[in-house]
Structure 1
Amino acid sequence: MKKHKNVVIFLIKFFATYFILFAIYAKYLQNSQQKEDTFKTASITTTVAEQTVYVLEFFGFHADYRQHKEELSVKLLIDNIYTARVIEGCNSISIIILFIAFIVAFAGSIKATIIFSILGSLFIYVINIFRIAFLTVMIFKYPNQQEFLHNLVFPAIIYGTVFLLWVLWVNKFSNYKK
């Protein structure tokens, strides 16, 4: 019976954390995005695009970003060629919410849970910036591979990172470690 109790507690903690964080994020999006008359993405999405451009420029590319005028996205340009776009789902916040919900559900000490959640979230955010920059360059160089890059390589990087962080958390820091 204890085994089932642990599963139920895990699920309650996971979904409670997930829905609370998601509700806060949804409210933020509602207040920060603009879909009428002119499009304006949430500031976090624009910031991700801007930071991606910094990474691209660091590696020697002539890059820029612009708010898309016809949809809720930010265009990424290399050599003034519209190469990729950053939408709300690309800013890593949704995946960070999922990451934190798992960490809280598999909690360790309060201090470890808070520190790992913050550091893990920052790590995911930074990996995401580099992932978008990588994808943008690859699409620029190999436009015929866009579907493969976006649908397989792109998610594998971010979800692989999150999975490895979860494994590290459970095995080293959570109260469930062996």
Structure 2
Amino acid sequence: MKKYLAQFRPFLIFIGTFFAAYIVLTILYKFYLNSFKADEVDGITNFVGRNVEQLLQIFNYDVKVQKSLSNSWLEVLFNNHFIIRIIEGCNAVSVIILFISFVLAFSGNFKITLYYILFGIVFIYILNVVRIALLTILLFHFPEKNHLLHGVLFPLIIYGTVFVLWIIWVNKFSKYAK
């Protein structure tokens, strides 16, 4: 048994670190979400909604992001038409938690790890705001493509980007990089 533990030690450390970080960050995020009433929109989702609205207004689009009167999400009105809603799951926090957990599991130098995590959080956040803005525009013009755009293309873009960030981390900055 000791032989196998020694042989698989790097893998077990990776798995243990990944799941420990993921569980701790997820629990902290759930505590954060539980601090809001059931009919409230959490602060991060509100911030994402404001940034989507600001981004689209920079390009002179007629857009308004507002709290739903009866639900805990934001409604995006584009050219005075309801196009999409932004729910808590759209704020990319779960993707960011996944990203952080993986980077920590392959951590390297503390300072480099911290900087890469901060860079990744900002990058994923900005990508997510751009994703929601583009999704709004595209669904206004092509509402029949909802499944393709929302269900396939945009998740592929955000998860694919996180995967590329992981590959860069492992090959360039982690303790396993050559």
Task: Note whether the superposition's TM-score is higher than 0.5.
Answer: yes
Aligned to 1:84, the other structure's residue is in SS state strand
Q: TM-score when scaled to structure 2?
A: 0.94
Report the Cα distance in structure 2 between the residues aligned to 1:24 and 1:17, rounded to whole angstroms. Answer: 11
Report the Cα distance in structure 2 between the residues aligned to 1:160 and 1:100, rounded to whole angstroms. Answer: 15
Task: Extract structure 1 runs of 4+ deviating beyond 6 A.
Answer: none
Q: TM-score when scaled to structure 1?
A: 0.94
Tell me the CA shift for residue 72 of structure 1: 2.1
Letter in 2 for 1:134: L
Aligned to 1:69, the other structure's residue is in SS state coil
Aligned to 1:49: 49
Q: Give 1:21-36 correspondences, 5 Å limit.
A: 21-32=25-36, 34-35=37-38
Aligned to 2:169: 169
Tell me the CA shift for residue 3 of structure 1: 4.3
Aligned to 1:70: 70
Aligned to 1:40: 40
Tell me the CA shift for residue 174 of structure 1: 0.1
The worse-fitting range, judged by mean Cα deviation, of 71-80 and 116-125 is 71-80
Task: Give the number of aligned pairs.
Answer: 174
- RMSD after superposition: 1.0
Unaligned segments of structure 1, at least 5 residues: none
Letter in 2 for 1:86: I
Tell me the CA shift for residue 66 of structure 1: 1.0
Aligned to 2:83, the other structure's residue is in SS state strand
Could you list the per-position Cα deviations for residues 73-120 of structure 1 after superposition, in whole angstroms to 9, with x for gaps in the alignment? 111111111101111111011110100000000011111111100111
Report the Cα distance in structure 2 between the residues aligned to 1:52 and 1:22, rounded to whole angstroms. Answer: 25
Report the Cα distance in structure 1 between the residues aligned to 2:111 and 2:7, rounded to whole angstroms. Answer: 26
Could you list the per-position Cα deviations for residues 126-177 of structure 1 after superposition, in whole angstroms to 9, with x for gaps in the alignment? 0000000000110011111111110011101110110110011001000011
Q: Give 1:87-102 correspondences, 5 Å limit.
A: 87-102=87-102
1:17 to 21, 26, 30: 21
